[in-house]
Amino acid sequence: MAAGYFFVQAAAIVGWWALLITVPSTRPYFTIRSAPFATLGAFALGDLGLIALGSALVAVCHGRSWAGRAAWCVSGALLYATCYTVAAVVGGVSSPLGACLMVPASVASIMASTILSRDALADSLSHGSSA
């Protein structure tokens, strides 16, 4: 289930960027007021390269020894972007929609990372005790 969440997260991020690029009228709901779209666009590489691609790798390779650490890297990157978004809302310069989407995503990503880490630990303990 945790690996499946990371797959959904990867797809959602790619879909969200596709929406922003193809439907420019959606941009004001996510940008800082009076800032050009390039300000939000600066997050594209991190969102797509770290969070979306990282989420996809975790989903596909969740049984590998490094997948739990990768999940935590993805969660950390997402949490950083979430803090930025929440700060923009608290500062009164952005619509709350982005924060309303990102806060639950960050919590879910952290929960999924915790589950993957717990499962990896259980696997290593069970393999270690049978040797």
Q: Which tens digit of pLDDT belongs to each residue from 38-49?
A: 999 999 999 999
DSSP annotation of 131 reads -
Question: Based on C-alpha coordinates, what's the Rg of the chain?
Answer: 17
Prediction pTM value:
0.90
Distances (CA, A) of 49 to 10, 73, 119: 10, 12, 26
Summarize pLDDT for 78-107 with one digit per residue, the tens: 999 999 999 999 999 999 999 999 999 999
Percentage of the chain modeled with pLDDT above 70: 95
Q: How confident is the model at residue 75, as a pLDDT?
A: 98
The three-class DSSP label of residue 93 is: coil
Kindly state the tokens that stand for 56. Answer: 């996809």
**What DSSP assignment string belongs to 1-46?**
-HHHHHHHHHHHHHHHHHHHHH-GGGGGGTSPTT--HHHHHTTHHI
Cβ–Cβ < 8 Å for 80, 39? no
Q: Is the pLDDT score of 129 beyond 70?
A: no
Mean pLDDT over the full length of the chain: 93
Q: Is the pLDDT score of 52 beyond 90?
A: yes
